[in-house]
Amino acid sequence: MQNGRLEKTTVVGAGLMGAQIGLVLALGSEETVLWGRRDESLERARANLKRYAGDLERHDQLMGQSAEDVLGRIRFVKDLGEAVAEAGFVLESIVEDLEIKQGFYKEVDGLVPEGVPIASNTSGLPITKLARDAKRQDRIAGSHFVQPGHIVPVVEVIKGERTSEETIERTCEVWRTLGRRPLVVEKDVPGFLVNRLQHAMIREAVNLLDSGVASAQDIDLAVQLGLAPRFTTAGPLEQRDINGMRMHVRVASHLWKTLDGWEDAVENVKRRVERGEVGLDAGKGYYDWSGRDATDVRAMKDEQLITRTAEVVKSIDFPPAGTP
């Protein structure tokens, strides 16, 4: 730490999530290095970073700094050794491919300074398997951000079978310093916390739609207006306590066994993809997006998410930025 900031932090991977996490790290680092293989990917990352920082600046979400100052601390490089040299924290956000990531950790383990944590932004690959070929597996952990990573404040910090407690503690400290809320995942299960919870709900939503129970809009509104407001005051387990476990048992006993299995839901989604109904970019998915500009829709959703996330964070017992 220097002047209340991390000294040098590095993000390996210049895709959307790499740029988003790079911005988060730059909020509290003297220097953040973003590594990419090609000039084109780094230029795209530079443009995305400018947009992300501008969005947060308009909503006063840059920890009291200007977008110009934060962006000025980000350096773009193509040499991996240069990117990680003297880094105090390294975040990997390369392609979600197990063999490629294993090769990366085998290589980078010999380049990153001794004792420095190396974290993966994988959304579900086992940390233990990613670290398999590295010599110092104790310093490798997961740090999974929820998309969009520069807006959503939680970070899943995942223990591999050989990850040390010191690595987990230091990784959590980094994210707390940057105003994020680490969620420690004690077991290296597929999908970790957020994706397992999210996909359980999505699986049921897909089944309800394909079974003709309700329209896509009403299913989404059931979550947006029925569940989401409640979840900002109490999560699903706390709600069971508040509502009472006796009621919970009565409802769960007859309802849970009727919930959808995964096989049929996945096949239904595959059929949509085969028909070309792949979502916003194609003009059709569960909704008809014809005539809508995909960039404009995503920008609007990000603006809404920045505002609403800030409101939720204020209402929850959440550590302020800079709290160790």
pLDDT of 64-107, one tens digit each? 999 999 999 999 999 999 999 999 999 999 999 999 999 999 99
pLDDT of residue 1: 59
Mean pLDDT, the chain, integer = 94
221 and 123 assigned to the same domain: no
State CA 157 to chain mean position distance. 11
pLDDT of residue 177: 94
217 and 288 assigned to the same domain: yes
Asked, for residue 323, whether it belongs to a domain, the answer is no
In which element (H, E) is residue 140 found? Answer: strand 140-145
pTM of the model: 0.92
Rounded Cα gap, residues 52 and 55, in angstroms = 5
Can you tell me whether residue 145 is helix, strand or coil? strand
157: phi > 0 → left, psi -120 to 50 → alpha, else beta; which?
A: beta
Instruction: Please check the confidence at residue 262 and state whether its pLDDT lies above 80.
Output: no
295-315 mean pLDDT: 94
| CB-based contacts of 156, cutoff 8 Å, min separation 6 | 142, 143, 144, 182, 183, 185, 192, 193, 194
148 and 279 assigned to the same domain: no
Residues involved in catalysis = 144
Instruction: Please check the confidence at residue 173 and state whether its pLDDT lies above 50.
Output: yes
pLDDT of residue 292: 96
CATH of the domain at 19: 3.40.50.720
pLDDT of residue 324: 45
Percent of the chain with pLDDT over 70: 96
* Nearest C-alpha neighbor of 159 from the set 135, 183, 176: 183
pLDDT of residue 321: 52
Q: What is the dihedral of CA 168, 171, 177, 179, to 10 degrees?
A: -90
174 and 210 assigned to the same domain: no
Instruction: Please check the confidence at residue 7 and state whether its pLDDT lies above 90.
Output: yes
Last residue of a domain, one of 150, 168, 185: 185
Instruction: Please check the confidence at residue 20 and state whether its pLDDT lies above 70.
Output: yes
pLDDT of residue 266: 86
Instruction: Please check the confidence at residue 3 and state whether its pLDDT lies above 90.
Output: no
pLDDT of residue 15: 97
Asked, for residue 170, whether it belongs to a domain, the answer is yes
Count of structural domains, the chain: 2
Cβ count within 10 A of residue 105: 22
| CB-based contacts of 150, cutoff 8 Å, min separation 6 | 20, 21, 23, 24, 52, 56
220-227 mean pLDDT: 97
168 and 218 assigned to the same domain: no
| CB-based contacts of 101, cutoff 8 Å, min separation 6 | 92, 94, 95, 120, 122, 125, 130
Instruction: Please give the residue range of the domain that contains residue 226.
Output: 194-315
Last residue of a domain, one of 156, 185, 214: 185
202 and 294 assigned to the same domain: yes
